[in-house]
Chains A and B, each alone.
Chain A
Amino acid sequence: MTDRSTFDGMMSRLQAGDRLSADEIRDLAATPDILSLGMLADTLRRRLHDRRVTYVRVAQYSVDHTWTDAIPPGATEVRITGVPGSLPLAVAAVEQARAAVGTRVVSGYSWTALAALANGGTPMSRVLGELRGAGLDAVAEVPMDSVGNLDTAVDALKAAGFDQIRLTIDKAPAADRVALLIRAGALQDRVGCIRAINPLPMLLSSVRPTTGYDDVKMVAIARLAAPHIDTVQVDWLRYGPKLAQVALTFGADDLDGVTASDAAPDGHRRAPLEEVKRNIEAAGFVAAERDGRFVVVSS
């Protein structure tokens, strides 16, 4: 943050419902003053969501899962992971998941996995149409740094009826992510169907992991750069309770990927659900469980 008057000016504008410019976002991203950045993002977050933080319990299954086990009753979203070998296999997995979970949300696949299917000669519109027809409610990940043409991808998803798009990032470094987040904000202004953005990398590097500063800064930048994207998420399992909780004070309003069952071999000290609620409340927020359609189911 350059000076107090710049900060105060930005704060006043955010409180009045204004948004920051792309240049201002870039300047904010360049500052090590994460507290000022966090205050700005938190102000916008509270304007949009007040004290509410949502979380979703997700049961994740590989595309080759046999679907013979019972789906955890707490899961409000079933997410198919992995890269299907062919469109029929991708469709079959969705059909089986749909049959197994009834009316609960079925999401699955990354855009890049679907694009690989389309590369075999099948038009993307047909890939998306068949999956939608089989019961897929949402494409799980649209990684902004891997999709190629983001506008084309989002338009194709929208045309196929996927109207709650979730933007993610695979592995772009922090410096590149700022531009992607600014782009996401501009894209939402045009399409209006982006429901959530998850600004932290899905692919974690053990050689050069992201830092705490990187993470909270990107969460805050996502909130400020894309004020019309309702939900800024942090992945509970990937990033862990401590970072995820702190991120809630830097603009995030949703915890994605909460486990639907307690899979620890010796059990946890607290059930995952209780741990999520405890962390949300200890950060000064009110916890609300949502389903895969972003509808609050209990609070």
Chain B
Amino acid sequence: MVEQIARAVSGGARISAEDALRLYRDAPTHLLGRLADGIRARKHPEGIVSYIIDRNVNYTNVCTARCNFCAFYRTVGSPDGYVLGFEEIFAKIDETIAVGGNQMLLQGGHNPDLPIQWYEDLFRAIKQRYPDFKLHALSPPEVLHISRLNNVPVPAVIARLVAAGLDSIPGGGAEMLVDRVRKLLNCYGKASSDEWLGVMREAHRAGLRTTATMMYGTVETDEERIEHMLRLRDLQDETGGFTAFITWSYQPEHTERAGIEATGIDYLRTLALARIVLDNVDNLQASWVTQGGKVGQLSLAFGANDMGSVMIEENVVRAAGASYCMDEVEIVANIEDAGFTAKRRNMHYEVLGDPIFREREVPRMLSLATARADGDASVPEELRNYPARSRQGKQLRLAQ
């Protein structure tokens, strides 16, 4: 049976949920890898593995969603809660440009004290200072949060943010697009499966390209992992708006949910299966930030054609216990060591050129930066211009 399915996949046939489950459960790991690698080679025959130099910035850690798998968020009024100031974000952009970056991945908590005007003003200010710099920002649950907080429909939120400078939307917050799972992870409230997909549908209709993600390894069944992939595949058939798929394992340290992390083999098998199921998504990223550089590199044999981002900064996964770091030199070394050609890309997966460190001197980066230095509890001055919704936020504004 596995051999039959493997032959069909090798021949380019679309796989059913039932056959995907059979492959995932019964196919030897190398066979899964070979099938996925074959699809990667068909989609990317030139042997290029891409990566992007961008910075992963979390503008606030204050969040009302309270997902039980998250170690990053702080509740409203927490002394550890922060909102980055515009100047702080500009400084991060300057540092990103200095190492050859052209984009910021900007995501944050569902902060009730940041109205839509704050996002619009931030985006406009960034675009005014850095006209060519790209904003890959605000995952679907954040868009929903802004919509709900401001009583503005999702299409209008997207239109306003695009007008302010939003270039693309990251696929965060998908977790597992199965409502049974979302309820157990306490993330159904922030966005149901349909709502997450609905925001992406609207974004694609508005002409934005987005990514799609999957966090596995919590409470889902094998069937539910496949259901998640199929829901993405269906939307991709409809809109064609997903540029890439990224999957990673749940990182349990310091989270309310706790538990243990899925193994490296599980990651490679899940990645390979995603390459097989998501036959209409061109790019699959390796999640070295959760798997480490070694399994991250091995992902390139299991269907991945992209090493993701240099990141420069990372806060969310680090809070949950993983603190891997790879700068451009190391990412390129890993790509080339695996027999591929390394190319820089943008969010649309268009090749920008060869590694930047071969064009000019770039400082080595041996650890990822954080949102703020420990103990920095400063409150950005411009926050006083934006009305707060929470009681604690209002008190803070009065004290400013």
- How close is B261's CB to chain A, nearest CB, in angstroms? 8
DSSP majority for the A interface? helix
Q: Which residues of A contact B33 (CB under 8 A)?
A: 35
Name the contact of A284 in the complex, choosing from B29, B37, B293 (C-beta under 8 A). Answer: B29
Name the contact of B30 in the complex, choosing from A39, A214, A269 (C-beta under 8 A). Answer: A39
For residue B263, CB closer than 8 A to chain A, the reply is yes
- How close is A41's CB to chain B, nearest CB, in angstroms? 10
Name the contact of B298 in the complex, choosing from A240, A246, A275 (C-beta under 8 A). Answer: A246
User: What class of interface size applies to chain B in its complex with A?
Assistant: 20 to 34
For residue A197, CB closer than 8 A to chain B, the reply is no
Is the beta-carbon distance between A283 and B265 smaller than 8 angstroms?
A: yes
Is the beta-carbon distance between A211 and B292 smaller than 8 angstroms?
A: no
Please encode chain B, from 298 to 319, with 1 for each CB lying within 8 Å of some chain A CB and 0 for all others.
1001000000000000000000
Which of B110-118, B333-341, B350-358 is near enough to bind chain A? B333-341
Please encode chain B, from 258 to 283, with 1 for each CB lying within 8 Å of some chain A CB and 0 for all others.
11100111111000000000000000
> With A38-B30, A243-B264, A282-B265 given, is the CB distance from A212 to B296 under 8 Å?
yes
Is the beta-carbon distance between A249 and B263 smaller than 8 angstroms?
A: no
Is the beta-carbon distance between B263 and A283 smaller than 8 angstroms?
A: yes
Is the beta-carbon distance between A269 and B337 smaller than 8 angstroms?
A: no
Name the residue of chain B whose CB is nearest to the CB of A279.
Answer: B263
Is the beta-carbon distance between A249 and B29 smaller than 8 angstroms?
A: yes
Q: Could you list which residues of chain A lie within 8 angstroms of chain B, going by C-beta atoms?
A: 32, 34-36, 38-39, 42, 209, 211-216, 240-243, 245-246, 249, 269-270, 275, 278-279, 282-284
Please encode chain B, from 337 to 375, with 1 for each CB lying within 8 Å of some chain A CB and 0 for all others.
111000000000000000000000000000000000000
Q: Which residues of A contact B37 (CB under 8 A)?
A: 35
Q: How far is B297's CA from A42's CA once the two chains are assembled, in angstroms?
A: 20
Name the contact of A242 in the complex, choosing from B28, B30, B252, B264 (C-beta under 8 A). Answer: B264
- How close is A3's CB to chain B, nearest CB, in angstroms? 14
Q: Which residues of A contact B265 (CB under 8 A)?
A: 245-246, 249, 279, 282-284
Q: Could you list which residues of chain B lie within 8 angstroms of chain A, going by C-beta atoms?
A: 28-30, 33-34, 37, 252-253, 258-260, 263-268, 291-298, 301, 333-334, 337-339
Q: Which residues of B contact A243 (CB under 8 A)?
A: 264, 292, 294-295
Q: Which residues of A contact B260 (CB under 8 A)?
A: 269-270, 275, 278
In the complex, 28 of the A-B residue pairs with CB atoms within 8 angstroms, ordered by the A residue number, are A34-B298, A34-B301, A209-B293, A211-B294, A211-B297, A211-B337, A211-B338, A212-B294, A240-B292, A241-B263, A242-B263, A242-B267, A242-B294, A243-B294, A243-B295, A245-B263, A245-B264, A246-B265, A246-B268, A246-B298, A249-B29, A269-B253, A270-B260, A279-B265, A282-B266, A283-B29, A284-B28, A284-B29
